[in-house]
Amino acid sequence: GRRRSGSQLYCELKRRTRIRTVDGTQEPFSALGWARLVPSLPLQELRTSQYQSCAVVTSAGAVLNSSLGREIDSHDAVLRFNAAPTRGFERDVGNKTTFRIINSQIVARPQHEFSHSALYQDVTLLLWDPAQYAVNLTKWFQKPDFDLFSAYVERRRLRPEQPFYILHPEFIWSLWDLIQDNSEDQIQPNPPSSGFTGILMMMSLCREVSVYEFLPSLRRSDLCHYYERYEDAACTLGAYHPLLFEKLLIQRINEGGRDALRTKGKVTLRGFRTLRC
Ligand code: NCC
């Protein structure tokens, strides 16, 4: 990949990040009546609600003992991931949740109790599934990596008032292309982590984005998640996801200071709306 300066990279990210959800206009979803199943307000139009400041809270073990809860909650909107809880961890991660990105394992695996758990209520939910790079929606519908469609349909019927979107696999893979085109190495052909997708989504929706513990602070350890006692360095550096390359890319556009990164694991990013490209 060619190496671009921070501001060129910002503009490329802005130009190539087009949030897209499964909206029922394409087969096989159109024939199944999904245009009426999905929320009537497109996710892209949330932009008009103009969030000034947004926080992205990764699930890294390094947020433990950070005391960042109050700072995180002071943002207009907060994005969290998968089964990451706030209850019991308020001091370090806060308790406001506006958006939650979940991968298809959350809705497919019984231990996550997707239909019952309070984690997935009263928030805007964004669900994704890896799918294949050359996306054939009919094949994906027949054979997703984890069955997300039946849980989605059921949830839409039971809670039609909850904003709940499926991220379009072409959106996910367009972010993979962005990472590959801006990396020196060949990256693995697996989709970006929920964290990277979430950061780019919030840059589309907010004027300024604070990201916590995506680039690790001095608290960095092998502890995978702040809410579990499981250790694996691959959680921070990546195995399946091209996480290391995602992080190198975000490092290049960080507008926050060195101290904020070291002590808080905090990166500050400009929202696309504020860029003049
Ligand atoms: O671990 P996960 O992500 O839920 O974490 C959310 C995002 O936080 C960032 N992260 C996490 C841990 C860490 N030590 N450093 C980090 O930077 C990453 O950006 C990550 O995306 C996922 O991306 O959806 C992932 O989901 C888990 C798992 O499916 C869910 O937690 C549900 O149990 C994946 N783990 C496995 O499949 C075993 C993980 O690879 C990615």
Q: Looking at the chain, how many residues does it have? A: 277
Sign of the dihedral through C-alpha 94, 97, 98, 103: positive
Q: Residue 172: CB within 6 Å of ligand 1?
A: no
Q: What is the pLDDT of residues 94-151, one digit of tens each?
A: 999 999 999 999 999 999 999 999 999 999 999 999 999 999 999 999 999 999 999 9
Write the residue with the smallest CA distance to atom 13 of ligand 1. Answer: 60
Q: Residue 254: CB within 6 Å of ligand 1?
A: no
DSSP letter (8 states) at residue 97: -
* pLDDT at residue 119, as a whole number: 98
**Complex-level ipTM beyond the 0.85 threshold:** yes
- What does residue 140 show for φ and ψ, rounded to 5 degrees? -60, -45
What CA–CA distance (Å, rounded) separates 97 from 135? 31
Mean pLDDT confidence for 9-13: 97
Considering only residues 49 and 58, tell me which one the structure prediction assigns the higher pLDDT: 58
Q: Among the atoms of ligand 1, which is closest to the Cα of residue 58?
A: 8
SS3 assignment, position 79 = strand
What CA–CA distance (Å, rounded) separates 105 from 117? 15
* pLDDT at residue 44, as a whole number: 86
Q: Where are the domains of the chain?
A: 6-274
* pLDDT at residue 2, as a whole number: 60
**How wide is the angle at C-alpha 264 spanned by C-alphas 259 and 267, nearest 5°?**
75
What CA–CA distance (Å, rounded) separates 173 from 154? 26
The amino acid at residue 115 is S
- If pLDDT is split at 50, 70 and 90, which confidence band does 45 have? confident
Q: What is the pLDDT of residues 55-89, one digit of tens each?
A: 999 999 999 999 999 999 999 999 999 999 999 99
| Average pLDDT taken over every residue of the chain | 96
The residues that bridge with 79 in the sheet, in sequence order, are: 56, 99
* pLDDT at residue 158, as a whole number: 97
* pLDDT at residue 245, as a whole number: 97
pTM, two decimals, is 0.98
CA of 236 to the centre of ligand 1 (A): 9
Residue 173 has pLDDT above 60, yes or no: yes
Considering only residues 201 and 45, tell me which one the structure prediction assigns the higher pLDDT: 201
CA of 257 to the centre of ligand 1 (A): 26
SS3 assignment, position 99 = strand
Q: Which fold is adopted by the domain 6-274? A: sialyltransferase cstii, chain A (3.90.1480)
SS3 assignment, position 268 = strand
Write the residue with the smallest CA distance to atom 29 of ligand 1. Answer: 105
Q: Residue 214: CB within 6 Å of ligand 1?
A: yes
Q: Specify the DSSP element, H or E, that contains 199.
A: helix 194-205
* pLDDT at residue 1, as a whole number: 52
Q: Residue 217: CB within 6 Å of ligand 1?
A: no
Q: Among the atoms of ligand 1, which is closest to the Cα of residue 247?
A: 17
Q: Residue 55: CB within 6 Å of ligand 1?
A: no
3-state SS of 19-66?
Answer: CCECCCCCCCCCCCCHHHHCCCCCHHHHHHHCEEEEEEECCEHHHCCC
Q: What is the pLDDT of residues 180-235, one digit of tens each?
A: 999 999 999 999 999 999 999 999 999 999 999 999 999 999 999 999 999 999 99
